[in-house]
Amino acid sequence: MEYEQLKLGNQVCFPIYAASRLITRAYQPLLDQLDLTYPQYLVMMVLWENDQVSVNTITDKLILNTNTVTPLLKRMEVLGLITRKRSETDERSRTISLTEKGLKLREQAALVPMQLAEKLDVGELNIDEIIDLRDKLNRLIEAIKN
């Protein structure tokens, strides 16, 4: 028996993992200009979309555990990008808000998606195929989460 199910080329997880790593690598030079890591960039996108959210909102949107996000938020607070305040209604909860510096960074970051699209435009996939892939991956994520 050859164990076809164990061949790397037959896995759905590996191409997703490899694509994620390669895309994150492509982001890095762009994010270096903003002095952000990729996880910090993800948090900032959540906050640029909706400022003043709970840590739980961030963890839910990013599909991360609190023990992963909390140290990240502490570092971002030290960088002056966000503030972390205890919730007035629940002292166990913290509200995360953008600082002026964090809000201003959005202007620079607005160029990142287009710059990344240019880096990824290697002629193999057109933008419609990339959008279709994103939509299918989002459906997969939702199916797996539930």
> How much is the pLDDT for 1?
61
**What is the 3-state composition of the chain as percent helix, strand, coil, each rounded to the nearest 5?**
65, 10, 25
> How much is the pLDDT for 78?
97
> How much is the pLDDT for 98?
98
> How much is the pLDDT for 122?
66
Q: What is the mean pLDDT of each run of 10 residues along the chain (146 residues)?
A: 87 94 95 96 98 95 95 97 88 92 96 87 77 94 89
**What CATH number has the domain spanning 11-145?**
1.10.10.10
For the whole model, what pTM was predicted?
A: 0.90
Structure tokens at 48: 């640029």
Nearest to 96 by CA among 117, 120, 75, 115: 75
Residue spans of the domains in the chain: they are 11-145
> How much is the pLDDT for 40?
97
HSE, CB side, 13 Å, CA atoms: give it for residue 99: 13
Nearest to 116 by CA among 33, 29, 34: 29
